[in-house]
Structure 1
Amino acid sequence: DTRLCHDELRRKKISALIPPRKGAGYWPGEYADRNRAVANQRMTGSNARWKWTTDYNRRSIAETAMYRVKQLFGGSLTLRDYDGQVAEAMALVRALNKMTKAGMPESVRIA
């Protein structure tokens, strides 16, 4: 959440999706996206509302899933060619899904 970072994103015409730091202040002029995030933070006392309105929570879920894959299966792919790496990644995801499914409770409707 620095001006250099936001300037680089604007230069590349990318809308910033960076949560402001705690107690962040408004920046002048062309930093409207960040100022909206700061306004949300000040109104609600946290970044929670901003995260839901921008779907930032989905990014957080994806980062958590990648962390789990790396912790369980290692941080790198072993195959060298691209098609092999794609197949290896799909196998890792399939294995993670099976482990997640095995740990989920089974719901039963009552009445």
Structure 2
Amino acid sequence: MKGILFVFDVLPELLDQIPTDTPIDTIGGDGAYDTKQCHAAIAARDAQPSIPPREGAMPWPESTSGATWRNEAIDAIAQRSRREWKTSSGYHLRSLVETLMYRLKTLTGNCLWARKVGSQATEVAIRVGVLNRMRGRQSDAQDEERTSWIACASLPTDGAISSLLTPP
């Protein structure tokens, strides 16, 4: 379909923007990412997918890139339940990240004002720092895990910005 961009078309391009020497532990997404193209892109980066197989999903041949993890997820869901799989696989963290992003956008706006990429990264770092200050609590391991999912932890910081990023 000309002019329509699907989510599974975008994932490989997004991963290409991350330097190959930057390790990625987990790549999460909803069921729309349960495609061979997405699983192949994730496997190429030696990352673990956190993507629920679609309802009624059938196992892929083992020769398919990313099939091992997906087939194990299908088996785990069949043996227990989708809810238990989401908890045991860490997929539930996705909803926590979505809540965090909702808060960030609600408090600071949906768009970035900076024009250059470096300035945009700084703007996001400041916004995250403001959110941390508003929450008024120390970061814990769970917060750090959520933050790493949205890649805010790797944003460049300096001077006044780093003081904003440090919770009170």
Tell me the TM-score normalised to structure 1 length: 0.66
Match of 1:10 in 2: 43
What is the RMSD computed on CA atoms of the aligned residues? 2.6
Q: How does 1:45-60 map to 2 (within 5 A)?
A: 45-46=81-82, 48-60=83-95
Match of 2:76 in 1: 40
Name the CA shift for 1:16/1:77 in 2 (closer, same or farther; >3 Å): same
Give the counterpart letter for 2:88 in structure 1: T
Name the CA shift for 1:20/1:74 in 2 (closer, same or farther; >3 Å): same
Residues matched between the structures, number: 100
Q: Offset of 1:94 from its aligned partner? A: 5.1
Unaligned runs of 5+ in 1: 102-111
> Based on CA coordinates, which of the two structures has the bigger radius of gyration?
1
Q: Offset of 1:37 from its aligned partner? A: 0.8
Identity of aligned residues (%): 36
| C-alpha distance in structure 2 between counterparts of 1:33 and 1:19, whole Å | 11
| C-alpha distance in structure 2 between counterparts of 1:97 and 1:37, whole Å | 35
| C-alpha distance in structure 1 between counterparts of 2:48 and 2:124, whole Å | 29
Q: Does 1:19 find its partner at 2:55?
A: no
- Taking CA–CA contacts closer than 8 Å with sequence separation of 6 or more, which of the two structures ends up with the larger relative contact order? 2
Unaligned runs of 5+ in 2: 1-33, 137-168
| C-alpha distance in structure 2 between counterparts of 1:9 and 1:87, whole Å | 28
Spell out, residue by residue over 1:63-93, the C-alpha distance to the aligned partner (whole angstroms, 9 max, x if none). Answer: 2210221133212232456786566445534
Confirm or deny: 8 A CA contact 2:112 2:123 kept in the other structure.
yes
| C-alpha distance in structure 1 between counterparts of 2:95 and 2:48, whole Å | 18
Tell me the TM-score normalised to structure 2 length: 0.47
Q: Offset of 1:95 from its aligned partner? A: 4.8
3-state SS of 1:8 partner: helix
